[in-house]
Structure 1
Amino acid sequence: MFAERLAVVTDARVRRPQSIVELARSRPRGAIGDRLFLVAADHPARGALAAGSRPTAMADRGELLERLCAALARPGVHGVLGTADVLEDLLLLGALDGKVVIGSMNRGGLAGTAFEIDDRFTGYGAEAVAAMGFDGGKMLLRIDPDDLATVSTMEGCARAVDALAGRRLMAMVEPFISHRVDGRVRNELTADAMVRAISVASGLGGTSAYTWLKVPVVPDMERVMAASTLPALLLGGEVPADRDAAFEGWQKALRLPTVKGIVAGRSLLYPADDDVAGAVDTAVSLL
């Protein structure tokens, strides 16, 4: 059945490409409220296809879309974060009606490359987000004290914050302090590192009125989240070895006043037991 739906998507891309924009502008939109639960699906565009022990889990687009549709259909899921290719597939599948949609902006820092920290804006721009009737844009900001390319990424993020705010759209910033370890970029998941990253991210651009943060759960989250008054969403990260412990960490962090929800991708789309609906329902119940 899903293969037939995918065939319709490809047919529309070939015969009626204009229908993508038409669907985007005419669809019922979602609303950003006091609590927000989003599913993330922007990993493939950065060349990050692994999920848990499966190195190419996200390489099958049909399977990814089927899992996304299953997740988006669950009660309590407010929307999705993704790149244009994924979001347009979901539009053609009818999965974005009534959903909050966030476009992923900088995907140029391909995973495992020498230029990973120089994270160029190769995805959505603020103008494209607005033209599609979406609700905001998300950007990744990895701050490597030893990599000069960090400053160009910071500047790109600041410009994106301004461009989104000028259109009254959410600017979702995902900040980390990062280092190269054995040639690979690794995020420093400590309280001190996240306090510094959040402090930098909060000050990007000429206004923070529309800025939200996307942050991992790390030790001492009370001190981490005290670094800013901006609303924040918890990121899901990798597929956890201990899902119960991960959910417990989310639950504790969700009690903090600035934490307003969750953005999770691989940890829910590719759970160890492959029960997408069960993983999503459990995570939604934490809100």
Structure 2
Amino acid sequence: MTLTDERWHALLETRAADPGAVARAYAERRKRPSLLSGKGTLFLVAADHPARGALSVGGDPMAMADRRSLIERLLIALENPAVDGLLGTPDVVEELLLLGALHDKIVIGSMNRGGLAGADWEIDDRFTGYDAKSVAESGLDGGKMLLRLVDSDPGTVPTLQACAQAVSELAARGLMAMVEPLPYVRDASGKLLLQKDAVSLTRAVTVASGIGVTSAYTWLKLPAADDPAVLNATTLPVVVLGGVPSADPVADLASWGRTLRHETVRGLVVGRTLLYPPDGDVGAAVEAAAKVLEAAK
């Protein structure tokens, strides 16, 4: 689905002159009957980074700032039949809805984006996107929340509490709650560093698994683990996150593939790594990831 000048200008005109078109697009979206594909997997492309001010990819601090470029890349990714759908904030979801790109796709709404990248309060990650009520009313398939665990930062506490409430409220509506628990520490300069050792990741998994009044609808979004024993800490369905792209896409794919083979893992949720590959070929990057998922399952 090409984003021609005509379609782009029509989108801009709709945004300005017909805001009610957004509600109509939500209402008219054809929904897929189940979260999992016929193969029992779930492959989503993620585009919720800009709403948290996280725009950089590789050495370009503004890579995701050009909205037309981002939407074009998402259209290419969503066109691949192996891609089951999208994880995004309301603005991105609505742009793709208005372009007719989300019929028969899974759509997961991103919920807490208030922990702006680099801000002093980054770990106090307020819910500034979708909430459980709007996820349900918009006909989305679930909600996603980021839960960064930093023992030295009291901002972890309100974030943990808010995520627990969101898990409970989504479950009450029979909707998936995708929780992304990530353990961090601050270095001497105050920079946040992701901890990918088995002990830290396992602790994060167990904490996230127990939040809310029920875990019946909870999924976990986790980084590829060097030690697969991390995934033995839960029976909840897991999707592997792409994370910050490395300079070696082949190594990224291999890392995902090792984790995807674990019996609790159901699929992939990848954003920048596929949307902004080093060679610029989004279609090829998405196809390569789809093949890794297929081979693992």
TM-score between both structures, scaled by the size of structure 1: 0.98
Equivalent residue letter for 2:208: A
Residue of 211, 214, 236 corresponding to 1:207: 214
Please report how far the alpha carbon of residue 52 of structure 1 lies from its aligned counterpart in structure 2 after TM superposition: 1.5
* Structure 2 counterpart of 1:218: 225
Residue of 265, 271, 289 corresponding to 1:283: 289
Residue of 182, 194, 197 corresponding to 2:201: 194
Moved over 2 A (4+): 1-4
> Residues of 1 paired with 2:174 and 2:289: CA distance?
29
Equivalent residue letter for 2:57: A
Please report how far the alpha carbon of residue 82 of structure 1 lies from its aligned counterpart in structure 2 after TM superposition: 0.5
Please report how far the alpha carbon of residue 236 of structure 1 lies from its aligned counterpart in structure 2 after TM superposition: 0.4
CA contact (8 A) 2:113 2:126 kept: yes
Provide the aligned C-alpha RMSD in A.
Answer: 1.0
* Structure 1 counterpart of 2:119: 113
> Residues of 1 paired with 2:176 and 2:133: CA distance?
13
> Residues of 2 paired with 1:19 and 1:64: CA distance?
21
* Structure 2 counterpart of 1:19: 21
Residue of 69, 72, 81 corresponding to 1:75: 81
Deviates more, 1:1-10 or 1:257-266: 1-10
> Residues of 1 paired with 2:46 and 2:238: CA distance?
15
Residue of 176, 184, 192 corresponding to 1:178: 184
> Residues of 1 paired with 2:266 and 2:132: CA distance?
23
> Residues of 2 paired with 1:160 and 1:24: CA distance?
21
CA contact (8 A) 2:225 2:259 kept: no
- Are 2:159 and 1:159 equivalent residues in the alignment? no
- Are 2:242 and 1:236 equivalent residues in the alignment? yes
> Residues of 2 paired with 1:202 and 1:5: CA distance?
43
> Residues of 1 paired with 2:139 and 2:24: CA distance?
10
Please report how far the alpha carbon of residue 218 of structure 1 lies from its aligned counterpart in structure 2 after TM superposition: 2.5
> Residues of 2 paired with 1:116 and 1:184: CA distance?
11
Please report how far the alpha carbon of residue 9 of structure 1 lies from its aligned counterpart in structure 2 after TM superposition: 1.3
Equivalent residue letter for 1:58: M
Equivalent residue letter for 1:32: L
SS in 2 for 1:246: helix
- Are 2:130 and 1:128 equivalent residues in the alignment? no
- Are 2:271 and 1:268 equivalent residues in the alignment? no
CA contact (8 A) 1:239 1:272 kept: no
CA contact (8 A) 1:2 1:66 kept: no
Please report how far the alpha carbon of residue 26 of structure 1 lies from its aligned counterpart in structure 2 after TM superposition: 1.4
* Structure 1 counterpart of 2:265: 259
Equivalent residue letter for 2:215: S
Equivalent residue letter for 1:206: V
Please report how far the alpha carbon of residue 204 of structure 1 lies from its aligned counterpart in structure 2 after TM superposition: 0.5
> Residues of 2 paired with 1:20 and 1:122: CA distance?
19
- Are 2:99 and 1:93 equivalent residues in the alignment? yes
Identity of aligned residues (%): 53
Deviates more, 1:60-69 or 1:240-249: 240-249
> Residues of 2 paired with 1:2 and 1:131: CA distance?
31
Please report how far the alpha carbon of residue 53 of structure 1 lies from its aligned counterpart in structure 2 after TM superposition: 1.9
How many residues are treated as equivalent by the alignment? Answer: 286
* Structure 2 counterpart of 1:144: 150
Deviates more, 1:19-28 or 1:68-77: 19-28
Matches of residues 25-64 of structure 1 in structure 2 within 5 Å?
25-30=27-32, 31-33=34-36, 34-64=40-70
Please report how far the alpha carbon of residue 11 of structure 1 lies from its aligned counterpart in structure 2 after TM superposition: 1.3
Please report how far the alpha carbon of residue 2 of structure 1 lies from its aligned counterpart in structure 2 after TM superposition: 2.6
Deviates more, 1:266-275 or 1:27-36: 27-36
* Structure 1 counterpart of 2:8: 6
Please report how far the alpha carbon of residue 244 of structure 1 lies from its aligned counterpart in structure 2 after TM superposition: 1.1
